[in-house]
Amino acid sequence: MTTADYLLKGISLPDGTKTDVAIAGGLISSMSSDFKGEVKVVIDAKDCVVLPGLVDLHTHLREPGREDAETVLSGSRAGVKGGFTAVSAMANTSPVADTAGVVEQVYRLGQEAGLLDVFPIGAVTQGLKGEALSEIGAMADSVARVRVFSDDGNCVSDPLVMRRALEYIKKFGGVIAQHAQDPRMTVGSQMNEGEMSARLGLKGWPAVAEEAIIARDVLLADHVKSRLHICHLTTAGGVEIIRWAKARGIDVTAEVTPHHLLLTDDLASSYDPVYKVNPPLRTEADVHALREALADGTIDIVATDHAPHPTEAKECEWQEAAFGMLGLETALSIVQKTMVDNGLLNWSQVADRMSITPARIGGYENHGQPLAVGSVANLVVINPTRKWTVDRDLVLSKSSNTPYHGHELPGVITHTFFKGEETYNNGIVSSMGGK
């Protein structure tokens, strides 16, 4: 007699097929509508879609150093609420994750939290200064097994440093995730340079400062035959360059954030720093180019750039405020709103852009696997027919800087499963964290 820990009754697979999904012993144990056996928990999921657990390639968990903004545990809780089973902790912590010691600490904190896998990203350069390479090999060989390296927050702007980094990571099949921002063109920049910045008197961050670095780096990646990932692409021009590079066979991938798929720079006219983010919100034309690029595969993945900040960092003048906004808890709803409900993506493609491909880019085992019997049960269940209203006072992140406060969004995540265990169930995060 077979038994199952959970049975998702009448659920839709990403391709629309209806079935029952049984979870047992941490794995998907059955995918058929005639499961016969003992079930501990039956979940009526007839309006729901199951996707492989979401994988975020770009997350700021702030620990160590800024535990007032977020911790690995609080970020993990926000993650499972958003349907994630893996997140990638960016290196711009304090101390910077530029040694094996720091990445192992972050990795261990993730294991202790136990709600999802936390994969540390290593810094490309020591202290994110863009000068000397950090201990990339030691981080790759550490318990954290780092494969993604990024100075995110800063651009690796020196072309020679970028070239060497791209070459060096070939040793173990790593990838450099570039924050594409020419620093000289963006000194003191506050928002997208264009009609709005001209009117508001806020210093502009021109699209060309992103595009010039992307163009340079795809050429470098081609020259040294290495792997490049472009973080948070925001411009229509950047999309064109990536499209060109891929057509040439250059090994480049790109991500877009949920907020750049929805929000535009006219929101800055409120001078409310909740809309201040780096790279900045762009124009309607850019938003449309990004959506099309995500649909046609030019942009490979959605990554949140979840960037928690304490209240005081946003409750001030625009130019004094910190850059960044929360993303984990709203990512899937924003993707449904901007990409699924208008027919640009189907749920299979959402699984690809938010789980399968980010897991492949990061080299994350047991994530982004096809939904099949025997796969590790890292799953998210979403009810796309329901709506919910974002309330910044109810977020699970330690910070509350969400730009969607008061927005009604489609798609309610009902359950998240991590290695076959329920980590999230209708508003409640499992207390198994720490086990």
Partner 1 sequence: MRHLLSISDLSKSDAISILDTAAELARVSDGAVKKLPTLRGRTIVNLFAEDSTRTRISFEAAAKRLSADVINFSAKGSSLSKGESLKDTAMTLQAMGADAVVIRHPASGAAQRLADSEWMSGSVVNAGDGTHEHPSQALLDAFTIRKHLGMGGSDLSGLSVAIVGDILHSRVARSNVLLLSLLGAKVTLVAPPTLLPVGIHNWPATVSYDLDSVIPHVDVVMMLRVQQERMSDLFFPNAREYSRYFGLNAERMSTMKSGAIVMHPGPMNRGLEISAEVADSARSVIREQVTNGVSVRMAILYVLLAGGALEVGSN
Residue 194 as a binder of partner 1 (CB under 8 A): the answer is: yes
Report how far apart, in Å, the C-alpha atoms of 284 and of each of 82, 241, 257, 406 are.
Answer: 26, 19, 15, 22
The DSSP result for 135-157, as a single string, is -HHHHHHSTT---EE--TTS---
- Choosing from 272, 305, 352, 391, the catalytic residue is 305
Helix segments in 114-257, DSSP class H: 136-141, 159-168, 195-200, 207-224, 236-247
Nearer to partner 1, 251 or 266 (CB): 266
Residue 365 as a binder of partner 1 (CB under 8 A): the answer is: no
Residue 201 as a binder of partner 1 (CB under 8 A): the answer is: yes
In the Cβ-directed half-sphere of 311, how many Cα atoms lie within 13 Å?
2
State which of residues 1, 36, 249, 317 lies at the interface with partner 1 (CB under 8 A).
317
State which of residues 319, 342, 389, 426 lies at the interface with partner 1 (CB under 8 A).
319
CA–CA separation, 132 vs 134, rounded Å?
Answer: 6
Residue 285 as a binder of partner 1 (CB under 8 A): the answer is: no
Nearer to partner 1, 312 or 341 (CB): 312
Site for partner 1 in 81-110 (CB under 8 A): none
User: What is the sign of the dihedral through the CA atoms of 297, 209, 262 and 329?
Assistant: positive
CA–CA separation, 79 vs 65, rounded Å?
Answer: 20
Residue 406 as a binder of partner 1 (CB under 8 A): the answer is: no
Residue 312 as a binder of partner 1 (CB under 8 A): the answer is: yes
**Which stretch, 56-64, 270-278, 364-372, 399-407, contacts partner 1 (CB under 8 A)?**
270-278
> Among this protein's residues, is 151 annotated catalytic?
no
CA–CA separation, 240 vs 412, rounded Å?
Answer: 34
Nearer to partner 1, 84 or 275 (CB): 275
State which of residues 26, 130, 137, 206 lies at the interface with partner 1 (CB under 8 A).
206
Nearer to partner 1, 199 or 386 (CB): 199
Both tokens of residue 165? 């980094």
Nearer to partner 1, 191 or 303 (CB): 191
Residue 204 as a binder of partner 1 (CB under 8 A): the answer is: yes
Residue 271 as a binder of partner 1 (CB under 8 A): the answer is: yes
Phi/psi of residue 254, each to 5°? -145, 150
Residue 408 as a binder of partner 1 (CB under 8 A): the answer is: no
Report in angstroms how near the CB of residue 90 gets to partner 1 at its nearest.
Answer: 27
The DSSP result for 26-67, as a single string, is TEEEEESTT--SEEEEEEE-TT-EEEEPEEEEEE---TTT-T
CA–CA separation, 242 vs 298, rounded Å?
Answer: 7
Q: Which residues carry out catalysis?
A: 305
Name the residues that contact partner 1, by CB under 8 A.
Answer: 193-204, 206, 270-272, 312, 315-320
